[in-house]
Structures are given as structure tokens and as C-alpha cells.
Amino acid sequence: MIDQATGMKPGERYRVENVERAHQFPGFFQDGKYYLGPELLTAVGWIEGTRFIYDSVDAEGEPVFPNREAGTIEGLRLTLVDSTALELSRIEASETIAPLDDHKKSGTEQEALRGGVQSRGPLRGKVVVITGASSGIGRAAAHAFACKGARLVLAARDEEALFEVLDECTDCGTDAIAITTDVTRNDQVQALAAQAAEFGHGRIDIWINNAGVGAVGNFEETPLEAHEQVIQTDLMGYLRGAFVALPLFKAQGSGILINTLSLGSWVAQPYAAAYSASKFGLRGLTEALRGELTEFPDIHVCDIYPAVMDTPGFRDGGNYTGHALTPPGPVYDPELVAKAMVACAISPRAHTTVGATARLAHLASYLVPGLPLLSGWLTRRGINRSPKAETSSGNLFEPPSGRRSIDGGWRKSKDKTPLLIGAAALGMIVGFAITHSRRRS
């Protein structure tokens, strides 16, 4: 039903037909509110009766209109407070709203766009699903995609932390929803896909499998249910994500599936057997999916292989060693992985390695057949030299307590120890390779 006062129809968008001598209105009206752009769904104005209230400020931060009242709207005509009359016209569903040049924008429009969301770009308005979005790499990815103007569907088990991330992303000006999801549950992953598709008006452009847990300890001293939970999350959780995303991608003819793997996908991790099984399994899963998708050139499966990242994972994971756990150096910024994900979303590539250590591990996996033996010795030595600690299931079966974050706090400014350890490890690997080669010859 058309509003008899303003002349607007519910659910429709209306642009202002701007004229040069008047204040410029680059956005649109919809359902009694005024928005700055098609996907920047943060209202900066609204209609009260026929009065148009607009929170616009100039470059100095001063209100453009006294008392925030820009004018009145009657019969699809906006009459400004200075009596300038501007016509309103309905925007067709196939049209887009082109942003004005910067020198024509008010302080409000310029500040909104400077706040992080880009007015243009290949990810603008794309629907992106991110699992494990409450902390670590997933949280960093949420921020990175929000700043590119993507529309986000954030998923994780920790509802409180998830809504914190939601607030952080919407503060950037993008549109996002949070859906509490346990990727070990078929029904919850299916519900995530259904709600994401509804949010995207039937479309999902990018699905990021990122949720992950870990359990460290001697194989037989780690409870079987802990091993099972790692595999259910780190392998089966990714399979479930692919299972619900790919049919949508095929129906729409395009889509990008991004999987977070690990340097552990190449080099087995002694004392983390289930984690190794999952990460090695993911390599097989993704390669198999690529083989099935050769008839769909616009559907891509992208693997991200990070080195050891400074996330809360080591602190929050299951620990059955009896010792405190610290990540082996060098430790990298998780923002690097988020940037790699954005790069894959813009220009898909099958394999992306993040961090020099991951590249070295990949190379060593081919050059040093006995590398897991060396890895086992280094891990065992590191664990035994660590302080005693209580065993704990950590975040295996429920979200961890305490504040969630991107960083784990493992990096220290100007601390060169991780680099030295990395260099020493590389030297040991090279030495091991040479020795092994001589013995074989």
C-alpha cells in the first residue's frame, strides 16, 4: 500500500533527483529510512510524518541542516528547508546507485566511507559465510571482509563472542548476521546454510571453512572422545560446510569455497595425531572436490596453508600432556591469513601458503622422508622442558571461558627468539636431510 503522505510504497527504494545548486543526496529512501548506499544498511535519516530528519554534517563536523530537519516529503517530492524542491523516483531492482565524487559528498557520507567500507570493489555486497568467526583467524577474516563491504554471515559456538564480532563488523558499516553454529552437528550446519541463503536472497558467494580445535598429548593417553571431536570439527566440519555450500554454488553457477588448512597438512604433528589426520584428510578432500568440479569453471576450492599463528588456539585447546603449551616459533600475525582469504575471494587460487615457515615445511616434506621423526623429537623435547600443568579438554566440547580475541598474545615486540628458533629448526632439517641422504647412499 502506498503511503498517502509521502507517495512511497513499502519495500521499494527511492532516489533523490539531485540538482547542482542543492545539497546532494547520494543514498536512497526505503521503508521510512534514508540509507547512504545499496549495501550500507545503516540509516542516517528517517521520515517522521512528512518531515525528513537527516543526521548530515559538513567536513568540519557541523550539522548541515538546523535541528537535523532537512525538509518535508509529500507526493514523491522532497522540499528542503530552503524551499528547493527535489523529485523522488523509484529505483528498479536491476539498478545500482553510483556513489558521488568525494568533493560532492557531505561530511557524513565521507566519514561513513572512510570508516572502513569501500564504496566500490569486487567484494562489495558479496555474501560471505565464515565459520569459527568468534576468535583467531576467523575473527580477523570477519574484520577484513567487513572492510571490503562484504555482507557477512558469522558462525561459531560462542554466542556472546560471536555477537561481539557482529558489533565490530557492523560498526564498520557493513551488513552482517550472527548464527550460533556447532560444525559437528549436521542440522546446525544445514540451518546455517539455509539462513545464510535467506540473508543473501537465495545466494551465497563465498563459504569459508575455518572452525577448528586441537588436542595435544600422547596418542593413547588422549581420550578417544577427544580424538573424535578433533576429527569431527577439523575434518567433518569442513566436509559438512562443503556439502551444503556446493549445491548452492552449482545452482547459481559460481562460488568460492575457502578452507583453512595448516603446515600440518604436509608435515605430520606427533602428539597431535587427530589434528594431523584431519589436516592430511583435508588435502584429499579438497583435491577430490576440485576433480569433481571441472565442469564448473566459476566454482573454486581454495586452500590456505598458514604457518603457526598468534591465535588463542594453543591456550584454549585440549591439553593432555601434563605440561603448559606454547607455540613453536616463529609465530605470525593472523591478519596475514585474513588478507590471504580476501585475496582468494577476489582472485581464486588453489593453494596459498602464509608464512615462510609453512613454505619451508612444504619443501621439507618432499626433501626429508624422516621429517616426522625429527618433528616428534623436537615436540617431545619442548613439552618435557615446559612447566607442569593440569590436563584439560579446553575448548573441545564447549567454548572456552574468558574474553575472545584475534591474537593469542604469543608474539613479543622486537623478540628475535622465534626467528632464531626457526633458523635453528631449518638448520636441523637441512642437516637431517644431508645425513639421511648420505646414509642412503
Whether residue 423 has pLDDT greater than 60: no
Among the ranges given (101-115, 172-186, 249-263, 392-406), the one the predictor scored with the smallest mean pLDDT: 101-115
**For residues 347-364, average pLDDT:** 85
Residue type (1 letter), 127: V
168-218: pLDDT as tens digits: 888 777 899 999 999 999 999 999 999 999 999 999 999 999 999 999 999
Among the ranges given (41-50, 195-204, 319-328), the one the predictor scored with the smallest mean pLDDT: 41-50
238 has catalytic annotation:
no
Position 17 scores a pLDDT of: 83
CB 305 within 8 A of CB 354: yes
**Rounded to 5°, angle at Cα 22 from 17 and 24:** 60
Whether residue 395 has pLDDT greater than 50: yes
Q: All 3 cell numbers of residue 197?
A: 541463503
135-182: pLDDT as tens digits: 999 999 999 999 889 999 999 999 999 999 999 888 777 899 999 999
**For residues 306-333, average pLDDT:** 86
Higher-pLDDT residue of 64, 321: 321
Cβ-based burial of 282 (10 A; exposed 0-12, middle 13-18, buried ≥19): buried
Cβ-based burial of 43 (10 A; exposed 0-12, middle 13-18, buried ≥19): middle
Whether residue 113 has pLDDT greater than 80: no
Cβ-based burial of 126 (10 A; exposed 0-12, middle 13-18, buried ≥19): buried
**Reported confidence tier of residue 286, pLDDT bands at 50, 70, 90:** very high
Please give the Cα distance from 50 to 67 (Å, whole number).
15
130 - beta bridge partners? 154, 208
Position 62 scores a pLDDT of: 65
Whether residue 76 has pLDDT greater than 60: yes
CB 108 within 8 A of CB 34: no
Identify which of 82, 26, 76, 31 has the alpha carbon closest to the alpha carbon of residue 56.
26
Q: Which of 102-116, 270-284, 365-379, 405-419 has the highest mean pLDDT?
A: 270-284
Instruction: Find the helix packing angle between 335-346 and 136-146, rounded to 10°.
Output: 50
Helix (H, G, I), strand (E, B) or coil at 68: helix
Q: Give the CA radius of gyration of the chain.
A: 26
Instruction: Find the helix packing angle between 237-252 and 186-199, rounded to 10°.
Output: 30
Domain residue spans of the chain: 4-91, 127-398
Position 264 scores a pLDDT of: 79
Please give the Cα distance from 38 to 27 (Å, whole number).
8
Active-site residue, selected from the candidate residues 275, 305, 320, 332: 275
Residue type (1 letter), 94: S
**Reported confidence tier of residue 98, pLDDT bands at 50, 70, 90:** very low
* Yes or no: domain 127-398 corresponds to CATH 1.10.150.120: no
74 C-beta neighbours (distance < 10 Å), count:
14
Please give the Cα distance from 378 to 362 (Å, whole number).
18
Identify which of 144, 329, 129, 333 has the alpha carbon closest to the alpha carbon of residue 241.
129
Please give the Cα distance from 154 to 172 (Å, whole number).
15
Whole-angstrom CA distances from 303 to 109, 260, 284, 287 are 37, 6, 11, 10
**For residues 302-314, average pLDDT:** 89
Whole-angstrom CA distances from 332 to 305, 337, 366, 412 are 13, 9, 24, 11
Please give the Cα distance from 157 to 163 (Å, whole number).
11
**Reported confidence tier of residue 415, pLDDT bands at 50, 70, 90:** very low
Per-residue burial over 318-344, b = 16 or more CB atoms within 10 Å of its CB, e = otherwise = bbbbebebebbbbbbbbbbbbebbbeb
